[in-house]
Amino acid sequence: MNGDIKYVGCNDHSIDLFEGQYAVPNGMAYNSYLVLDEKIAVFDTMDRNFIDEWLGKVKAAAEGRTPDYLVVQHMEPDHSSGIKRFMDEFPSATIVSSAQAFRLMKQFFGTEFEARRIVIKEGDTLATGRHEFRFVAAPMVHWPEVVMTYDAASKTLFSADAFGKFGALDVEEDWDCEARRYYIGIVGKFGVQVQAVLKKAAALDIATICPLHGPVLEGDLSHYLGLYDTWSSYGVETEGVQICYTSVYGHTKEAALKIKDALEAKGVKVEIADLARDDMAEAVEGAFRYRTLVLATTTYNGLDVFPFMRTYVEQLTERNYQNRRVAIVENGSWAPQAAKVIKGLLGCSKNLDFIEPVVTIKSALDEVSSAQLDALVTAIAG
C-alpha cells in the first residue's frame, strides 16, 4: 500500500478448510488496514490465531502513536476476533460500526462497548483529518451488519468481504478463479443485495478497492466490477459446458466422458467433475460460470439420486442457480428415476432450459442410449 493507508493484515498457511468447507491449498489472507492521519483509524481486526501478529503490525504502522478509531465493517470471526484485545490494548480508542454489529459484539464479547462507540448508518461520515470516510450500508453482503467505507481523498473503497478471494497474499495465483469460487460459494445466494451495492459503487469515483481477503485492487477496476456484475446478476461468464457426474460401477462415468470428448471435438469448452472425488465448490463454481450444465447420475435407493448429486444440486439451488441450460443423463437398472428427481430439485430455479433428449441408460450404454447421447451432444453444441 502507498501513502498513509497501511496494510496490516496476515497470511494464514495453517488453515485447510475456510469456513469449515472450502479447500484453500494456498491459505488465506485476513486483511486489515491502518490510515495514518491527524487521527488514526484501523479498519477491521483479525482471525483469533493471528491477533498478536496483527497488533504488532498495527503498532509499527502507527509509528508510536495510539489509534483513535477501530472501524468494524464485518463481524464474521475471521475479521472481528481481535476487537476485545484491540480495545484493551488501546483504552482511548473508539469503535465505529453499525447498530447490528454492536448487537453481534454483545453475543461474541459480552459487551456492546456502549461508552466507547459511534453507531453509524448509510451516509454517515467520519473525519480523521485529510480523510473523511463515508459509510455505505451493504446488508447481506454477506452478513446483515456489513458496512463498506469510501474515502474520497484517496478514492478508496474499503469493501468488507466483497471483492475478496481465497489464497494468501504471498502466493501467486489467478484472481478470477479463486475470487469466483469464493464469491459463488460464500456470497452467491445474495445476488440482489450485491447488485444494490454495485449501484451505490457506480456513483463513487473508485481507484482502489481494499477487501478483507485477497489482494488490494488498483488501476483499471472494470474487470473486477464487471465480473461482480455478471456473478451477482447470474449471467453467463464463459460460453462452455460444466459436466458433473456420479458413478457407481463406471457406466455413468463412461457416458459423461463420451459427452466431454464429443463436445470438445466440436470445439466446445468443457470442464468435468466427479462429484464424489473432485472439489465440489469448484464444480458449483463451474455451474455458475458456464451457460450449460450436464448432470449425469444414477437412480439410488429406489426413488432418489446418488447422494453426492443430490448434495450438488441442493448447493446450486441454495445459491439461486438460474438462467442456464441443463441436460440430464440418468442411469437405472430397473426403474430410472434420476431425471425426474433432478427436475424436481431444480423446480425452484428460474429460467432453466432443459435440453432434450434426456439420456436414459439401463445399466450400461447400448445402441438406444448411445443414440440418445449423440442427439444430446448435437443439441448442446447447438
pLDDT at 299: 92
Confidence grade of residue 3 (pLDDT, cut at 50, 70, 90): confident
In contact, 67 and 42? CB cutoff 8 Å:
yes
The pLDDT, as a whole number, for residue 2 is: 64
Where in the chain are all domains bearing CATH 3.60.15.10?
5-232
Residue 191's H or E segment, with its range, is helix 191-202
- CB distance 164 to 212 below 8 Å: yes
As annotated, the residues of the chain forming the CATH 3.40.50.360 domain(s) are 239-377
What is the structure's pLDDT at 382? 85
The conformation of residue 334, written as its DSSP 8-state character, comes to S
The whole-number pLDDT of residue 302 equals 78
Judge contact between 331 and 297, C-beta under 8 A. Answer: yes
Residue type (1 letter), 276? A
Pick the CATH number of 239-377 from 3.40.50.10330, 3.90.1150.10, 3.40.50.360, 3.40.50.2300: 3.40.50.360
DSSP state of 343: H
In the predicted model, is pLDDT for residue 52 greater than 80?
A: yes
pLDDT tier, 1 (very low <50, low <70, confident <90, very high otherwise): low
CATH 3.40.50.2000 for domain 5-232: no
- How many Å separate Cα 105 from the centre of its chain? 24
The per-residue pLDDT of the chain, averaged, comes to 96
Cis bond upstream, residue 223 (ω within 30) = no
Distance CA 144, CA 137 (A): 9
CA distances from 217 to 187, 207, 223, 331, 356 (A): 19, 8, 10, 47, 43
Mean pLDDT of 281-303: 95
pLDDT tens, position by position, 168-202: 999 999 999 999 999 999 999 999 999 999 999 99
Q: What percent of the chain has pLDDT over 90?
A: 97
At 134 the three-state DSSP class reads strand
Spatial strand order in the sheet of 147-151: 125-127, 132-137, 147-151, 156-158, 208-210, 217-218
